Chains A and B, each alone.
Chain A
Amino acid sequence: MKDKVYSVTFGGIGGQGVLKASELCSWAALYAGYHVKKSEVHGMSQRGGSVESHVRFGRRVYSPLVPAGGADVLLCFHQEEHPRLLAFLKKEGLDLTGYVDKAAALVANPRGLNTCLVGVLSARLPIREECWMQAIETVFKGKGVDENKKVFLDGRRLGQS
């Protein structure tokens, strides 16, 4: 399985931090030494439209998009988007959407929800904890680093339990 490419589909609507979440995951994979491709669509997303981002990592990645039925993991932040995004998930794939409410109950500040969910996700991907920490240090600034590390670890424990 050395050449396996891992595919994660992130989705939600504008303003939920979907792109930040996929950015964290991509950086963690980069620090873990993988070739990473992350796709996202910018443009009109600020105004409540669908946001979808795919992260794929492995020894060598070609397609930046996850094909229908090709995602190992789905992380969907918004119920309305779920049926559409489910089409990306492999038959035996892992749907983490059920964790959204649990994670929401866990975070004090709703803005940390995306990082918390990335913590949940981290428990299921072959990337060392230290790489996730480096990713957080790269993506966030100032006191955001420690705050996000904390919610990330809360999420990670939730994902491991």
Chain B
Amino acid sequence: MVKAKTSNQALLSGNEALSYGAYEAGLSVACAYPGTPSTEILETLAQFPDVDAQWSVNEKVAFEVALGAAIAGARSLFACKHVGLNVAMDPLMTASYTGILAGFVVVVADDPGMHSSQNEQDTRWVALYSKLPMLEPASPAEAREYVQEAFKISEKYDTPVLLRMTTRVAHTKENVVLGERRVPPRPEFERNIPKYVMVPGNAYQRHILVEKRLGQLQALSERTRLNRVEKGDGRLGFVTSSVAYQYLKENYPDASYLKLGMTYPFCDEKIRAFAKTVKKLVVVEELDPFLEEHIKALGVKVHAKDPSFRIGELTPELIGPLVAGEVKQEVRTPKRKPRLCPECPHWATFAALKKLDLYVAGDIGCYTLACLPPLSALHSCLCMGAGVTFNEGWHKGAPGKKIVGVLGDSTFVHSGITGLINAAYNKAKGVILVLDNSTTAMTGGQQHPATGLTIRNEPTKKLILEDICRACGVDHVDVVDPKNLEEFRTLLEKRVNEDALSVIISRHPCKLLRR
């Protein structure tokens, strides 16, 4: 990390500041699977030798390892992008019941505007659904401060704490003042069957505690300085959070603000009291009407955005029309689309697929760009792992079509293996292409089990893709270099025309991103 030469400041992104804050709070275990816009959190934490940092195989695994460490007494953190939290929802929902021993922070980064994502879900609803507190920093400096607050709340209320970032907060840089690391004493890990064994009888008792905790957290939300009032001239008042606050402050410096840093549980009394101090109350939030619906349910008269503003990122020039209750008009002109690098091995792979006129069940990675012209050779992209399972589903739904499933090496390890076992077990046919470029390229080139290197580039046990494919029970496993065009195409054609389940590992490194 680069610090200023003349002071204790650094220019940090929201993700870096958050990592620094967690480090200062005595974080000792951190787990994640990469995903824009959250990737830099683990990359930053891995630079601290006294943090046990890892790239996990996927988000569910990462969540469980980090939670386990917290239950055993170490302050821990899990980080993911919004869709990554979907993968970790199973442990998350019950972690709300077990609680923790040492602090546990769940960082989730939403991507309004989908700079690099397949959907635009608003993760604030997860707080409501899981009955967990949620903090939302509006800037990098706040990210550093809030993560420290999150560890305190986690331990005081025996709860995982959700820390929601958005792309704009995660990737903005700001001057951040750094502090010293202080590691709190580790609590002793002891057997506690009623707390940590979630069988129905125990879970029932824990659910009672969850509801009680929610009440206590609501009281906290009423008094915490994270939910602060800034008094203006009383004509106009905003209830707002995250980066929307910043845009508003610039446009309406004289207005009153209820700036929410703890967006769940809601601070009903504070909202009611604030509403009484202003002539016109407007709620301004990015994406879904999360605050809006609750404030309306309180019976407080509030103005809110037109539903057209639920789509896309909020930008400074949208603030005026939004506050005025207008319908959203797109102002920014479209940008240049990214495309595959000229030397990319994926070109060769997809050129062959296109030539054979196959139906291609795609997945997520750099290779998703093969859906664009001139290739237009990828026909679906839903979520990680679906390249394998769609191959099976399409064969069932459209018998007789020539179908292949395609996914990258990192994606295959993340969630392709289970689908492959399913295909073999259920006697599915077809060809799965694993595009092994020996990195997680899409998110900037991270290591994963099949590269044989850890997050700190240390050698470790290497997952051999062809071995695991064989172990899954597929009929044929081949390894070829797609840049040997003829060999690759001949093999592909042969496999596609067999009545078998095969995997072709298309192996050629991504030279561009391998660090």
Interface residues of A (CB under 8 A from B): 13-14, 23, 26-27, 30-31, 35-50, 52, 62-70, 80-81, 83-84, 87, 134, 137-139
Contacts and interface: CB of A to CB of B under 8 A. Distances in A.
Contacts of B337: 49
Interface string B114-151: 01100000000000000000000001000000000000
Nearest to A141: B2
A139 B316 CA distance: 29
A49 B336 contact: yes
Contact of A42 (B171, B247, B341, B366): B171
B335 A67 contact: no
Contacts of A38: 11, 172-174
Contact of A39 (B172, B317, B366, B442): B172
Given A42-B171, A134-B6, A67 B315 contact: yes
A50 B512 contact: no
Nearest to B172: A64
B6 A63 contact: no
Tell me whether chain A's interface is mostly helix, strand or loop, or mixed: mixed
A81 B336 contact: yes
23 contacts: A26-B11, A30-B11, A39-B173, A40-B173, A42-B116, A42-B444, A43-B37, A44-B442, A45-B338, A47-B341, A48-B338, A49-B337, A49-B338, A62-B245, A62-B246, A63-B246, A63-B316, A64-B139, A64-B243, A64-B246, A68-B317, A84-B335, A138-B5
Contacts of A70: 316
User: Which 9 pairs from chain A and chain B are nearest by CB?
Assistant: A43-B116, A49-B338, A67-B316, A50-B335, A44-B338, A64-B172, A47-B338, A62-B249, A38-B173
Given A36-B175, A42-B171, A44-B116, A50 B249 contact: no
B475 to A, nearest CB: 35
B36 A43 contact: yes
A14 to B, nearest CB: 7
A27 B2 CA distance: 11
A31 to B, nearest CB: 7
A37 B11 CA distance: 9
B458 interface: no
Nearest to A66: B316
Nearest to A39: B172
B340 interface: yes
A34 B11 CA distance: 12
A86 B315 CA distance: 17
Nearest to A43: B116
B242 to A, nearest CB: 12
Contacts of B332: 68, 84, 87
Given A30-B4, A67-B316, A35 B338 contact: no
Interface core residue of B168, B315, B335, B369 (most chain A CB under 10 Å): B335
A100 to B, nearest CB: 17
B320 to A, nearest CB: 9
A117 B301 CA distance: 52
Contacts of B369: 47
Contacts of A83: 333
Listed residue (A37, A66, A84) with the most chain B CB atoms within 10 angstroms of its CB: A37
B247 A43 contact: no
Nearest to B369: A47
Contacts of A64: 139, 168, 172, 174, 243, 246
B171 A35 contact: no
B316 A36 contact: no
Nearest to A80: B336
Contacts of A49: 335-339
Given A138-B4, A138-B5, A46 B512 contact: yes
A62 B5 contact: no
B513 interface: yes
A137 to B, nearest CB: 7
Given A65-B315, A84-B333, A41 B167 contact: yes
A70 B251 CA distance: 12
Contacts of B316: 63, 65-68, 70
Interface in B2-37: 2, 4-6, 9, 11, 36-37
Interface string B246-280: 11011000000000000000000000000000000
B199 interface: no
**Which residue, of B40, B245, B336, has the highest number of chain A Cβ atoms within 10 A?**
B336
Contacts of B2: 138-139
B5 A39 contact: no
B175 to A, nearest CB: 5
B340 to A, nearest CB: 6
A8 B442 CA distance: 29
Nearest to A14: B338
A37 B5 contact: no
A51 to B, nearest CB: 9
Contact of A67 (B115, B317, B339, B442): B317
Contacts of A134: 4-6
A45 to B, nearest CB: 7
